Structure 1
Amino acid sequence: MEAYQTYQTPLSSYASKEMAHLFSTAHQSRTWRELWLTLAIAEKQLGLPISDEAIEQMKNNLDFTLEQFDIVKKEQVKRHHEVMSHIHTFGQVAPAAAGIIHLGATSCYVTDNADLMFMRTGLTYLLKSLAVLISRLSAFAMQYKALPTLGFTHFQPAQLTTVGKRATLWIQELLWDLRNIKRARDDIGFRGVKGPTGTQASFLVLFDGDHDKVEELEKLVATRSGFQYIYPVTSQTYSRKIDIDVLAPLASLGATAHKIATDLRLLANLKVVLFDVDANSDMIDIIGQEVEEPWESTQIGSSAMAYKRNPILSERVCSLSRHLMVLHQNALMSSSVQWFERTFDDSANRRITLPETFLTADTILSTLQKVCEGLVVYPKIIARRIVQELPFMATENIIMAIVKKGGDRQEAHEKLRVLSHEAAHQVKNFGLENDLIERVQNDPYFSPIHDELEQLLDPQTFIGRAPEQVDNFLKEWVEPALAEDELKGAVSAGGKVELNV
């Protein structure tokens, strides 16, 4: 009942269970306890008087019960300190360890190290999801590598490309995102055991001035926590510049996703429209769009307009991508105002920013995967649009053909200029079909090439090396990227995604 009475973030239901759990209170609380256990084991190993019973009680009480969460809440009301509330609660279920939990540490030992662990794991989740998305789009690109389609520059008709070649533009940016996210993940280190201002003074006291033992303690804790690399110097916190480095490639991913989804939204609107001029009617026959995102048989596009098939998934990707791109600004601003060894004005911000960033990125990838797994291409609609525009684009080919037959280039150019303007007038003012080629066929000047016109207008002759570029790109760039061990398993195991809503 409480869930219905209090605000819940929509991302909790949009994102994968794995990502939602990673940033959950339950997982955070267990991770803190694991870090305290790791510290105690390392301190005991290096000679501090910590009993076996204390270690065992800590091991046996890593998971929280609902009753313990209630205790934490009560402790927080009492102490106004989250970490100390958890320490006291842990001590109640592991009384033999109550006196040594958090020994020598400061709060950021658990909060910062845990955040680094969460971000590293979260980036790994995203890398695997991104690899699956790239795989799905690559299959799409291969399937339609040779299907001619109208290119657009400035969203105006341009030279032809292919449906598959256009998809490689999306894939290439996703590959760069894959590279950037992997770099950020692999660069994450461990804050370690540094003490209240990063000097390790408290641990030096615990080990009676033995610097070697303090260094060994940090290495032991880092290794047991899964890190080989420790930030050499920190203040009370790890530098918040690390958050910038982690969130930057995710913001960049948001830009990529927004571009892909926008292209799909525009393609979904590119309908072929015919005017029934002969019947002197205003009726319009809308044949369909070039590309459409998946549509369920019972799906409703509009509560008012029953015919609507809105690209809602692509719109969701654009919406969330804007949110993802903006979140990076929080990391920049928080890093810029960390006075000296630390201030606390980053805490509330990061509690929102870090989980929101990862859950948003996760949701974007799963939504894009859903779209790409069900993309519908309408070749006849694409061909129809090509037919409408190709005659104008073919004028240069026609001129060259006439010249080869002994004609004059300037004269042919002037003839085509006049005929093109006449055809454009019919299209723009009366909604008629583009009849430029018919006009060329009826003009005696072009009779030497009348039998070549069909060949000159073959769309396949206008796509250049697009199919070969798709083949080369997938073989030389995509396949090696997805062949890495940690990604190969994700691609082979990844089934079709099912969205919650």
Structure 2
Amino acid sequence: MATFGMTSVSGCGINPCPDDEFNKYRSPLVSRYASKEMAYNFSERKKFTTWRKLWLYLAKAEKMLGLPITDEQIQEMVNHLDDIDFKMAAEEEKKLRHDVMAHVHTFAHRCPRAASIIHLGATSCYVGDNTDLIVLRDGIDILLPKLARVISRLANFAEQYANLPTLGFTHYQPAQLTTVGKRCCLWLQDLCMDLQNLEHARTKLRFRGVKGTTGTQASFLQLFEGDHNKVEELDRLVTEMAGFKSAYLVTGQTYSRKVDIDTLAVLSSLGATVHKICMDIRLLANLKEIEEPFEKDQIGSSAMPYKRNPMRSERCCSLARHLMTLIMDPLQTAAVQWFERTLDDSANRRICLAEAFLTADIVLSTLQNISEGLVVYPKVIERHIRQELPFMATENFIMAMVKAGGNRQDCHEKIRVLSQQAAAVVKQEGGDNDLITRIRADPYFSPIQEQLENLLDPSSFTGRAPQQVVKFLKEEVYPLLTPYENQMDIKIELEL
């Protein structure tokens, strides 16, 4: 009996039962976070049923081009696309040490009439790589409307708060005022770039097609007795059946691994965008200006009941960091693919491709939930403005005094002294900014006393921020959302 320390690992009583799923590592990307559609997209069932469909497409196209394949063989394959004997496939793979041939044998066992023509002329990458491209395409199709919904929700938020002044920050120090809606447009601009990049990646994605062992199509040329036109037509037919408009004209045994780089680069860039947005929200939550949704029974801290931790934004940042790092895998894989291919890409790609899409799926769902319930606290924002605006308004005071007949240098010196005194109250005594009180009390500023309120109107410090929001949403954001307008009604409720 094997033991670790004093704990027995045999039996199914108090000790772990080997068949219990909770005794095995389960990726939290699937068990805890990801949507059902994205989890299925990278599932074993999706993968192996797609293999069978690809074998069916190949057989149908070969039959159409004159190879001796019968209708009965085709129908038999159609009848058994979904009934995969996973136990038999696992046993075959253990024996053969080859996953594709294990599934060829398993499919052939279900289709004895078609056994002789399954995988005819093909190499393993015919099903492996073409399936990967189908999964990448379908994964992008899942992500696109999710990203569009996030943009839509934040666009509504930007429009609602287009005119609400707030402190701008540079270096995380108070700077010239902006508006809450204008800041949101900075988030939206990055997300719109991500949407366009993802659409471009989807558009340029092509099929590997029917290329043979080293990409030369030699086996198919032999099958069709040297007829190059039929080989090209076979490639075209299968590509069309798989739902692609075109295939890569040249490949090795695999499609170029730069395709994986291009796809994951877009997702990693999206990760950077989401991290930036959610970091901003976390900082604003600390300032108590904006908060993410907080459920009625949600607990912010096990020790501090008053806390309202921004856990959704923290989750997005955490997962986005993982998403950003995944680009390194396809970069290194593409760099070390010797000649027509090596197999050291396989295990790596099983992990990084799935994890990139699953992680992107999670952060978009979470960000949509956040953006649907953002809470703004205008009174807190106003208080923060009041604390800083007097300093920012000093140039306006100087200009007003000069118009009233004052000397710029004298006025500058007066305000400099009073500003230093007010700053000392804030920094050394922890008091409020009393610069305006000091200016009102100084007879020197009597010519502009009646103007002070207008000179301190926050909306006069936001420049064209409100107008920029309106123009940006109208000209750049809303047109991008048009293709997704029928997919906008889905709301996200987080289970965890």
Task: Give the alignment partner of residue 147 of structure 1, picking from 157, 164, 169.
Answer: 164
Is 1:11 aligned to residue 29 of structure 2? yes
Query: Within 2, Cα distance between the matches of 1:73 and 1:500?
Result: 34
- Say if 1:29 and 1:64, in contact at 8 Å, map to a contact too: no
Map of 1:328 onto structure 2 = 327
The CA deviation string for residues 254-301 of structure 1, in whole angstroms up to 9 with x for no partner, is 01001000000100111xxxxxxxxxxxxxxxxxx1000100111111
Aligned partner letter, 2:435: L
Q: CA deviation at 1:52?
A: 1.4
Query: Within 2, Cα distance between the matches of 1:64 and 1:385?
Result: 64
Is 1:44 aligned to residue 63 of structure 2? yes
Q: CA deviation at 1:2?
A: 3.5
Is 1:497 aligned to residue 492 of structure 2? yes
Task: Give the alignment partner of residue 23 of structure 1, picking from 26, 30, 42.
Answer: 42
Moved more, 71-80 or 5-14: 5-14
- Say if 1:26 and 1:64, in contact at 8 Å, map to a contact too: no
Map of 1:442 onto structure 2 = 441
Number of equivalenced pairs: 477
Query: Within 2, Cα distance between the matches of 1:46 and 1:433?
Result: 84
Provide TM-score, normalisation by structure 1: 0.94
Query: Within 1, Cα distance between the matches of 2:83 and 2:413?
Result: 83
Query: Within 2, Cα distance between the matches of 1:414 and 1:443?
Result: 13
Is 1:488 aligned to residue 463 of structure 2? no
Map of 1:428 onto structure 2 = 427
Query: Within 2, Cα distance between the matches of 1:121 and 1:2?
Result: 32
Q: CA deviation at 1:363?
A: 0.3
SS in structure 1 at match of 2:167: strand
Query: Within 2, Cα distance between the matches of 1:170 and 1:344?
Result: 41
The CA deviation string for residues 75-122 of structure 1, in whole angstroms up to 9 with x for no partner, is 011111000000000001111111110000000000100100110111
Task: Give the alignment partner of residue 133 of structure 2, picking from 102, 111, 116.
Answer: 116
Please list, as runs of the form range in 1=range in 2, the aligned pairs for 1:49-448 lying within 5 A after superposition: 49-65=68-84, 68-270=85-287, 289-448=288-447
Query: Within 2, Cα distance between the matches of 1:264 and 1:153?
Result: 16
Aligned partner letter, 1:10: P
Runs of 4+ in 1 over 2 A off after TM superposition: none
In angstroms, what is the RMSD of aligned CA positions?
A: 0.8
- Say if 1:75 and 1:85, in contact at 8 Å, map to a contact too: yes
SS in structure 2 at match of 1:145: coil
Query: Within 2, Cα distance between the matches of 1:338 and 1:212?
Result: 31
Query: Within 2, Cα distance between the matches of 1:473 and 1:155?
Result: 25
Map of 2:11 onto structure 1 = none
Map of 1:283 onto structure 2 = none
Query: Within 2, Cα distance between the matches of 1:500 and 1:69?
Result: 31
Query: Within 2, Cα distance between the matches of 1:376 and 1:232?
Result: 52
Which consecutive residues of structure 2, in runs of 5 or more, have no partner in the other structure? 1-18
- Say if 1:320 and 1:364, in contact at 8 Å, map to a contact too: yes
- Say if 1:120 and 1:185, in contact at 8 Å, map to a contact too: yes
Provide TM-score, normalisation by structure 2: 0.95
- Say if 1:128 and 1:490, in contact at 8 Å, map to a contact too: yes
Query: Within 1, Cα distance between the matches of 2:61 and 2:89?
Result: 26
- Say if 1:257 and 1:364, in contact at 8 Å, map to a contact too: yes
Query: Within 1, Cα distance between the matches of 2:277 and 2:207?
Result: 35
The CA deviation string for residues 309-348 of structure 1, in whole angstroms up to 9 with x for no partner, is 1111101111111100100110000000000010000000
Query: Within 1, Cα distance between the matches of 2:470 and 2:222?
Result: 64
Which consecutive residues of structure 1, in runs of 5 or more, have no partner in the other structure? 271-288
The CA deviation string for residues 236-271 of structure 1, in whole angstroms up to 9 with x for no partner, is 00010110111111110001001000000100111x
